Chain A
Amino acid sequence: KAGVTQTPRYLIKTRGQQVTLSCSPISGHRSVSWYQQTPGQGLQFLFEYFSETQRNKGNFPGRFSGRQFSNSRSEMNVSTLELGDSALYLCASSWETQANTGELFFGEGSRLTVL
């Protein structure tokens, strides 16, 4: 069974640009969450989608957005990139249909460098 797939794995952008990251969850998983991982702030929750609806959102500025498609694949977008957006962006999927978060299956991440 294939795991969570994230593309691209690595990318370099310059300040002011925008970026779109893609995530394909494990087959059958309908919940997709996104996390940002940096050495300074650790793992921080961005947002979660279930059945194309955003159910939860972390404390990130509006430059960070996401969406989910009918096949559960998800994308996140960061506009007007800043140097501080350099991070590993992790997507996680789960069977989650209930309110409380269970086991998350993480992808290998997309490492974004902003110059």
Chain B
Amino acid sequence: GQQVMQIPQYQHVQEGEDFTTYCNSSTTLSNIQWYKQRPGGHPVFLIQLVKSGEVKKQKRLTFQFGEAKKNSSLHITATQTTDVGTYFCAATNAGGTSYGKLTFGQGTILTVHP
């Protein structure tokens, strides 16, 4: 079945440093979404990317979708302690019907040291 590989698994940064997490798929994706889960919480939707080469920004967060629609990244500039949590990418395959099914990456656990 479809797999989405996400790296790194863990990332420890000092407050103010940048952070990037990457997702890769061996198959072409229809779209990719990003979610954030705070410790003890539930996944919360951040953004959806649909177009090849798409770049979207939300304040300090920058999301990219690869030209081949097989990879994506999330970059946080100047991390803050409020950025702590696990960041997941979640994808649907191209050419099919997904009906509620997202394939999640393993997630990157971000720790920010003040």
In the complex, whether B98 has a CB less than 8 A from a CB of chain A is yes
Q: Judging by beta carbons under 8 Å apart, are A56 and B104 in contact?
A: no
In the complex, whether A92 has a CB less than 8 A from a CB of chain B is yes
Q: Judging by beta carbons under 8 Å apart, are A101 and B1 in contact?
A: no
**Majority-rule SS of A interface residues:** strand
In the complex, whether A70 has a CB less than 8 A from a CB of chain B is no
Contact (A101, B100) CB under 8 Å given A42-B107, A43-B88? yes
Contact mask for chain B residues 25-52; partner A; CB cutoff 8 A; 1 contact, 0 none: 0000011010000000111110010000
List 3 A-B pairs, minimum CB-CB distance, nearest first.
A48-B100, A33-B100, A99-B97
Sample of 23 A–B contacts (CB below 8 Å): A31-B100, A33-B101, A43-B88, A44-B104, A45-B103, A47-B100, A50-B99, A50-B100, A56-B99, A56-B101, A59-B1, A99-B96, A99-B99, A100-B98, A101-B98, A103-B33, A103-B45, A104-B43, A104-B100, A105-B45, A106-B43, A107-B42, A109-B42
- Chain B residues with CB under 8 Å of A109's CB are 42
Residue numbers of B with Cβ under 8 A of A are: 1, 30-31, 33, 41-45, 48, 88, 90, 92, 96-107
Q: Judging by beta carbons under 8 Å apart, are B42 and A103 in contact?
A: no
Residue in A closest to B98 when the chains form the complex, CB atoms: A101
State which residues 52-68 of A face B: CB under 8 Å.
55-56, 58-59
- Chain A residues with CB under 8 Å of B106's CB are 42
In the complex, whether A108 has a CB less than 8 A from a CB of chain B is yes
In the complex, A105→B88 CA distance in Å?
A: 14
Q: Judging by beta carbons under 8 Å apart, are A90 and B43 in contact?
A: yes
In the complex, A53→B43 CA distance in Å?
A: 25
- Chain A residues with CB under 8 Å of B96's CB are 99
- Chain B residues with CB under 8 Å of A43's CB are 43, 88, 90, 102, 104, 107
